[in-house]
Copies of this chain bind each other. A is one copy, B any other.
Amino acid sequence: MDNRPIGVFDSGLGGLTSVRKLAKLLPGEDILYFGDTARTPYGSRSRDTILRYGMQDIEFLLSKGVKAILCACNTVSATLPASYTNQLPVPFVGVVEAAAAAAARTSANGRIGVIATAATVKSGSYQAAIRPLRPDAQLTIQACPLFVPVIENGYLDRRDPITVLLAREYLAPVRASGVDTLILGCTHYPLIAGTIADEMGPEVTLVDSGAQGALVLRRLLEARDLLCARSKGGNLSFYVSDSGENFAEIGALFLGRDLSGGIHPYTLLE
């Protein structure tokens, strides 16, 4: 039993889709979220910069006394080496490993698609995570660099012409490869899951990486007896490196509820 908060972080807003799932799975847990909104997005940056930012995000959560960390940013999860995350003083779950395991279990024909940021694609992490679980798997991996800005600017309607045009461009080669499972390898993408599903067709299963990360974290807390004593009434608090103003407005879309009460602007390590 451990009543300390769970730490969740992302480059910006996307990880809130993970928090939403986690709060539903474990309604008694306190969750402390950090979004690096002064430096988002990470997905177009170099490996060295992503490593530096990711480690700073983790140091921040550790300084707040969290009992476990969910890295709800696919870009960071794809970039941090296991040699680093294994030596952290608290358990660490990355969304890439979680989503890769779910897709490997789910796919019937072994053809798995991944859509993600440019940095996640470049890292090769999804390939590395899926291969040991499904050596027969054929992966089709596609960078979708404009999905994040389009989502953060609110083009979320399932039939929005710009979102549909982009989805068509990005997903055509993925659909053509005959995948039966598609990993949404960025925690922003669940907000346009309808548009993505329309392009991929009803026979393709979409894997939400943020939700899978939350499921893996719950199992880990159970296995190590780290769940809190409460079964409801957990507190959510949000730390952001930019002002809280924009975060409250768009964040509510991701979280599915108002969050303006619990936001703490915070200048990160500069």
Contact = CB atoms under 8 A, between A and B. Distances in A.
B149 A46 contact: no
Interface stretch (A37-45, A57-65, A175-183): A37-45
Given A165-B161, A269-B270, A49 B242 contact: yes
Nearest to A161: B165
A150 B161 contact: no
A153 B41 CA distance: 14
A165 B166 CA distance: 12
B243 A46 contact: yes
Given A39-B38, A165-B162, A269-B270, A48 B149 contact: no
Interface in A45-87: 45-49, 52
Which of A149, A242, A269 neighbours the largest number of chain B CB atoms within 10 Å of its CB?
Answer: A149
A246 interface: yes
Given A146-B153, A150-B146, A162-B166, A245 B39 contact: no
Sorted nearest first, the 8 A-B pairs with minimum C-beta distance are: A46-B243, A149-B149, A38-B49, A49-B242, A46-B242, A145-B153, A39-B39, A45-B242
Interface of A: 37-39, 44-49, 52, 145-146, 149-150, 152-153, 161-162, 165-166, 241-243, 245-246, 267, 269-270
